[in-house]
Amino acid sequence: MPYAALMMDGAGNLYGTTFSGGLSTTEGVAFKLAPSGSSWTETVLYRFGQQGCYYPDPCQPRAGLIMDEAGNLYGTSGNGYAFRLSPSGTSWMETTLSTVYYGSDASLIMDAQGHLYGTSTQGSSGHAAGAVFVLVFNGTVWNYTELHSFCSENSCSDGNLPTAGLITDLAGNLYGTTSTVRRQALYPV
């Protein structure tokens, strides 16, 4: 069950995630497809849910992956974590970076300073309207900061449930979409 788009590296290899499969039928995997003549060779890089899909174990990724200059892969999981997969010899090592709250369906983006930006369909306050967040590495840990909590304006005029990824312009402004607009007349408080 691959939900997200693939990512291609400079050598033409494709990287992606699946929502299910892996150690059981429910945790998901990260995989690589390498061109091999007229076909492709698949390699499972990492099987999610190695600790049973409980904190701080990312599992069920619904978002795609991004790659930094060192070849590390970054993504988010359906159970609310941002993670890094780092090549280590012939295997890949997973590091959970931070909680990003449930419903992280969209791929992360990385700026020139290495900050990671993303969206989730649930914010840190636990409401189900979603958020835009940034993860900043301070040399020791990745700090989560919520940049915007959706449905925070009158009648939810800012929308809710962001499920698509973000893009940025040269000035560093972030752009994205929400999947719905909640109006107070339809959803009274």
Please write the tens of the pLDDT for every residue from 26-54. 788 999 999 999 999 999 999 988 777 77
Beta-strand relationship, 73-76 and 66-67: antiparallel
Adjacent-strand bridge partners of 35: 40
**Which residues, at least 6 apart from 79, have a Cβ–Cβ distance to it below 8 Å?**
53, 57, 58, 59, 60, 102
Every domain of the chain and the residues it spans = 1-99, 100-189
Least confident of 33-47, 50-64, 74-88: 50-64
Structure-token pair, residue 31:
């995989």
Q: Where are the alpha helices (DSSP H) in the chain?
A: none
At 53 the pLDDT is 76
Mean pLDDT of the chain: 83
pLDDT digits (tens, 9 = 90+) for 114-165: 999 998 877 666 556 788 899 999 999 999 998 888 876 666 677 777 877 8
How far is CA 177 from its chain centroid? 16
Least confident of 18-22, 23-27, 133-137: 23-27
Model confidence band, residue 15 (pLDDT cutoffs 50, 70, 90)? very high
Query: What percent of the chain has a predicted confidence (pLDDT) above 90?
Result: 38
CA 34, CA 8: separation in Å to the nearest integer?
Answer: 10
Which sign, positive or negative, has the C-alpha torsion 138, 121, 125, 98?
A: negative
pLDDT surpassing 80 at residue 186: no
CA 21, CA 3: separation in Å to the nearest integer?
Answer: 13
Burial of 7 (C-beta count, 10 Å sphere; 0-12/13-18/19+) = middle
**Which residues, at least 6 apart from 167, have a Cβ–Cβ distance to it below 8 Å?**
109, 174, 175, 176
Of 55, 49, 91, 98, nearest to 75 by C-alpha is 98
Task: Please say whether the beta carbons of 68 and 77 come within 8 A.
Answer: no
User: What's the half-sphere exposure (Cβ side, CA atoms, 13 Å) at 164?
Assistant: 10
pLDDT surpassing 60 at residue 87: yes
pLDDT surpassing 50 at residue 184: no
pLDDT surpassing 70 at residue 23: no
